[in-house]
Chain A
Amino acid sequence: MKWYEAISKIDRRIIYSILTICIILPFFTRFKMRQNIMPQTKQLFDFIESIPSNDKAVYISFDYDPQTMPECHPMAIALLKHCFARNIPVIGGSFNVQAPGLAVDAIATVTDEINRNALSRDDSLIYGEDYVYLGWKSGFIAAMIDMGESISGVFPRDYFRSSVDSFPLLQKVDNYKNIAIVIILSASDYPEYWILYPQSRYGVKIGAGLTAVMAPKYYPFIQTGQLSGMMSGMKGAAEYENLILTHGYAKKLGKAETGMNSQSMVHILIIVFIILGNIGYFFARKNEKSQQ
């Protein structure tokens, strides 16, 4: 077999083996590529930066499922770290029935890390005072609208079945008036409904964290100002992780950055293979023509 035939017909097992190494390697090596921060990610970050501490809360709607966890879960963790570092209270809820387990995991990951390093009660995050997770609610459109009147009316109990009346946070923040922004983390069309209903009626600010496939659909909403910022895909999550690191809100980068390193390695590999395949193809064609 000639060399150009060999490189144009590489066995797929070789491709998969090299691919596996490229995916795993970034998890064991420490290399960091500076992320190019997209304007919409910076916009969302700057909005959170502009919220005064211990004032209004941020509402995060966890609406992703296990399949889209690699993209949306790091977004959730980065957002929570940013909010808690700036003493912004967080209220969480879900309209996707598969999301609550992931939401609890994200919140627990961040709060456990912060509380482990806390030196006093003031440094700690207290459930009910600094954050609350309300769980899943059906009938999302009616729920979104009714939360404009009273969040506790829509969620009388939180995810852990405790009455929300006992939470100081929800006594202070009971509707969109005391919510600085609602950020939806989703792989489907929930942000559109948030814009259509609560934003048009109550004027609440909306941000989004979407999978890379969904993101292009929402660019027009960024242009019109209906979305106050957006993270798109794992890249968006990695960009946000970089932003919170450079501003001192986190000590290290998260899983999205590692995932992006893997993704970048895989992209480079695919490009190399495509180039090899085309070189082999061109030389094979040239050889055919010269033989004719």
Chain B
Amino acid sequence: MTVATATGLVATVDVAHEGSAKRIGPRTDAADLRVWTGTPLRLALVVGRENADRAAASAAALGACADPDAVLIVAGSRDQNGVIDVVEALRAATAGRPKPPVVLIASDERTRARIAPSLAPLALEAIPGPTAALAREGIVARLRGMRRPAGDIVLRDEAVESAARAVAAADMRDTLVLDVSGASTSLALATPTGAVIALHSHLGVGTNADRVVARAGLDHVRRWVPRAVDGPALLERVFNRARWPDAVPATTLTLALEMALAREAVAHTLRDAERSGISVAPFRAARAIVCTGRIARFPRAAQCAIVAIDALETRGTTCLSREAPDALIAAGAIASRGSADIAGRIEPLAIAMTLWPRRAMTLTVSDATGTIEQRITRGAFLLMPTTGRVDLRVGGSAETASADALALGVIVDAERLPALARWHSALTALSSEGLV
């Protein structure tokens, strides 16, 4: 589907939240596109390995009473026997189901012909092997199509990736879009040429908040709340939040809890990627980071900045910004079907410098009020508020950065893992009401 409105105006997009939707665009009667997390897709991955424990794999497939929506088989000629064992177990576990799984198979023709009889009567689709980027994109597109119940739906993860691509192309620099919603967390790193590496997880700060606690542990979430909270009480709050879509954090404590959940959701998404063999260093060192979703809607800009810096453990100099509520996600949805204008949808927040200098250095910050030189030593941690356009130079290096009208200014972090209280007070991230 290509978006083309009769009036020639930009398309109207409904961005779904946990229990509601926000409309972005000129139309009031209906939306052209809807951004949604999509229907869950249970995917069974069968990747051939000659020395796999076939009996254990068969037992697992049978014992789990597997009921996948799709099966993705990647097999080489040497993997046939192992794959056939697992496929037979899957067929036994899914036989007679009202909705049989879609089977996608990436292998050479001879291997496919040997595996096919074991899959009958399940329908089989041949797909290219996931060795080339284009083929991987094809597989992802096919699987995403299965999560989309209607043609006007754009999956949130898809919109985040398109948004990253659009911002990177517009700014001509590598850009990371960091999206944390109630049900999901996405990190999409795009280059100006259009290449995207994306990480997505079902960890969120709302309906999937309990998953964050299950993954990270209660203490890991609790350490980010700048006040003593006992574990059982915190768990109750998380569970109630998970069962209450779009709950509003009316107190400072609940807002701090949401920020804590967001940090852990991002950190664990990165950890999962690392465990899968994906290098996360480019995500941490991205030159531009745009926050979207719940973290972009925190009341203070500092809250968004603090969560992004803590969760990503940024390295080097980064331009931090956030979307106007749901605006960039809506633009990403449009960009996924055509081209989108992202102007005016992003608010620059800060230039964040995370460094560990060997010796004292000088930082020169020029803005509308003039030029300030700041001496930086190890352990320094400060916020330099700025006005208007900002140019930043680091003495003794070629490092420079510039940005327009930052909401916060320049954040300098020359202290590894600053104390949470120091963080919060330096950026005045949380109102003290309800926290003391």
Asked whether A and B interact, the reply is no
What is the interface of chain B, defined by CB distance below 8 A to chain A?
none
